[in-house]
Amino acid sequence: VEKQARRLTVLDERGQPIRTISGIQLGDAPQGHKRFQGDERTPEGRYTIDWSNPDSAYHLSLHISYPNAADQAYAASQGRSAGGMIMIHGQPNGMAGRVTGDWTDGCIALANEEIEYLWQLVPDGTVIEILP
């Protein structure tokens, strides 16, 4: 995921691109790494997709393993929570079309058709790298 470019590129087992999704939507404060619960930033770094939720409040969702130990330690050193429940998901259930602009609390939002594609392709344990 390239936050500034608003692009998610799916790679095959050899690291070759097989699909690029443009126009991804991020948290309301998209610049910078997520540090604390409620900062509305999307994390940056290397994580994994560790579980999926077909009954999400959004059209399908894939959970990103944020926060890791370093994220938790930093937040704790500041007397705060690192937050969590960061997902790649579709649009809100029951909504036709797409919400405009950045609107998540730190998640990565896609069009419903795009999350359906990822849902079929990405198993638990898949590495995700989120770049600034």
pLDDT for position 5 = 97
With residue 89 as reference, give the H or E element that holds it: strand 87-89
N- to C-terminal Cα distance for the chain? 8
pLDDT for position 73 = 97
With residue 71 as reference, give the H or E element that holds it: helix 69-77
pLDDT for position 95 = 86
Burial class (CB in 10 A: 0-12, 13-18, 19+), 16: exposed
pLDDT for position 97 = 86
8 Å CB contact between 3 and 132: yes
Which of 4, 67, 1 lies closest to 37, judged by CA?
67
How far, in Å, CA of 42 to CA of 27, rounded?
A: 6
pLDDT for position 123 = 94
How far, in Å, CA of 92 to CA of 1, rounded?
A: 21
8 Å CB contact between 40 and 28: yes
Each residue's pLDDT expressed in tens, for the chain with a length of 132 residues? 999 999 999 999 899 999 999 999 999 998 999 999 999 999 999 999 999 999 999 999 999 999 999 999 999 999 999 999 999 999 999 888 899 999 999 999 999 999 999 999 999 999 999 999
pLDDT for position 96 = 84
The answer to whether the bond into 30 is cis (omega within 30° of 0) is no
Q: Tell me the two tokens of residue 40.
A: 């509305």
